């Protein structure tokens, strides 16, 4: 019989909301050390790092906006996604009662907050994929509203940016998104980019690619090269942490390539703020582990 994972998912939510992953904290620390002594950029990163430590020590949210919960669930054959979704919804409600999450779910027509992060079938956002094997893997990303507001989508070619339907066009629009954000959405950010797909699949893939670790490398050498190039060039824009100028505007870039129609070439950019909250839970042989 399929086990009830509500308790384990609640722990996944707690961990994601309160404990920034080590790879992100390490990159923030390295970026702080590169900023000038006494600069506003260094001060902003010091404050961020202090905040990260306090949140971990006290099991309190890393940022007041605990974001949209985005769940990516890989499950074995035979599992009920209906039950899993209900358990995820219940875990999110319990996490809100325990103040790991802020009540963030608002009816768009009435403006009424449900008060416990319950919502409709799209909130929290849950994506399922059946996989081989006997384990359940759940990735959770909490994506803040400010960084979602500066996320965007381009359609190539884009004559205003002289961006054609090639990787250099992708580079140009990605840097344009960073310039337009100007530190809003709480830089330093990380860029999740999807190339291709339709408008919907492209946006979802640009969020899902943020499951990757900051220090990993894209298996496609041309995309790995582009990821490094965009990060380096974004960091030469002198926008800096929170827009205070400096060397650290983005922490990294992650790109996913999707098939597309001949007629369309979308580039979707999900800007993730410094509060890059993502965690993974693996449930196997009756036990959950977290990373
Ligand atoms: S964008 Fe991120 S860091 Fe900024 S307020 Fe929102 S959740 Fe917090």
Asked whether residue 52 is domain-assigned, the answer is no
Residues 31-40: tens digit of each pLDDT: 999 999 999 9
Same structural domain for residues 10 and 134?
yes
Note whether residue 242 is domain-resident.
yes
The total number of structural domains in the chain stands at 2
Domain that holds residue 98: 6-16+62-144+277-290
Same domain, yes or no: 195 and 96: no
Residue 19 CA to ligand 1 center (angstroms) comes to 15
CA of 226 to the centre of ligand 1 (A): 26
pLDDT digits (tens, 9 = 90+) for 189-203: 999 999 999 999 999
* In-domain check, residue 36: no
CB of 28 sitting under 6 A from ligand 1: no
pLDDT, tens only, 94-127: 999 999 999 999 999 999 999 999 999 999 999 9
Q: Is residue 33 part of a domain?
A: no
129, 190: one domain: no
Q: Residue 146: its pLDDT value, please?
A: 97
136 is a domain residue: yes
pLDDT, average across residues 255-282: 98
Question: In this structure, what token pair is assigned to residue 150?
Answer: 């500066």
CATH number at residue 105: 3.30.360
Q: Is 159 found in the same domain as 114?
A: no
CA dihedral 157, 162, 166, 168 (to 10 degrees): -150
Our answer on whether the CB atom of 147 is closer than 6 Å to any ligand 1 atom is yes
pLDDT tens-digit readout, 4-58: 999 999 999 999 999 999 999 999 999 999 999 999 999 999 999 999 999 999 9
Same domain, 267 and 151: yes
Residues 283 and 255 in one domain: no
One domain, residues 171 and 268: yes
pTM for the model: 0.96
The residue to mutate among 52, 185, 272, having the most atoms of ligand 1 within 8 angstroms of its beta carbon, is: 185
Whether 192 and 125 map to the same domain: the answer is no
120 and 206 housed in the same domain? no
What number does the ligand 1 atom closest to the CA of 142 have? 7
Query: What pLDDT shows up at residue 1?
Result: 82
The answer to whether position 268 is within a domain reads yes
Residue 59: CB atoms within 10 Å:
14
**275 Cβ below 6 A of ligand 1:** yes
Residue 128 lies in a domain: yes
178 domain-assigned: yes
Question: Do 133 and 159 reside in the same domain of the chain?
Answer: no
Please, which residues have CB within 8 angstroms of residue 152's CB and are 6 or more apart in sequence?
177, 180, 268, 269, 271
């Amino acid at each position: 019989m399929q086990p009830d994972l509500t308790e384990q998912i609640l722990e996944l939510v707690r961990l994601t909301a309160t404990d920034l992953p080590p790879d992100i904290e390490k990159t923030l620390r390295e970026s702080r050390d590169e900023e000038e002594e006494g600069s506003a950029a260094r001060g902003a990163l010091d404050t961020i790092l202090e905040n990260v430590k306090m949140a971990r020590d006290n099991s309190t949210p890393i940022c007041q906006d605990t974001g949209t919960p985005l769940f990516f669930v890989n499950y074995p054959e035979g599992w009920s996604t209906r039950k899993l979704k209900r358990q995820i919804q219940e875990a999110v409600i319990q996490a809100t009662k325990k103040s790991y999450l802020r009540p963030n779910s608002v009816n768009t027509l009435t403006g009424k907050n449900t008060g416990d992060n319950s919502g409709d079938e799209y909130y929290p956002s849950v994506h399922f994929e059946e996989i081989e094997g006997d384990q359940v893997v759940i990735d959770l990303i909490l994506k803040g509203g400010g960084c979602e507001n500066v996320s965007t989508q381009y359609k190539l070619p884009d004559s205003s940016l002289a961006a054609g339907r090639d990787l250099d066009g992708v580079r140009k629009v990605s840097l344009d998104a960073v310039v337009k954000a100007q530190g809003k959405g709480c830089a330093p950010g990380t860029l999740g980019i999807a190339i291709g797909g339709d408008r919907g699949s492209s946006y979802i893939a640009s969020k899902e690619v943020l499951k990757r670790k900051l220090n990993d490398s894209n298996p496609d050498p041309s995309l790995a090269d582009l990821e490094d190039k965009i990060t380096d060039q974004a960091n030469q824009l002198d926008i800096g942490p929170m827009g205070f100028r400096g060397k650290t505007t983005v922490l990294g870039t992650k790109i996913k390539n999707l098939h597309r129609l001949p007629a369309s070439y979308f580039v979707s950019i999900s800007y993730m703020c410094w509060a890059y909250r993502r965690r993974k839970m693996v449930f196997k042989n009756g036990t959950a582990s977290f990373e």
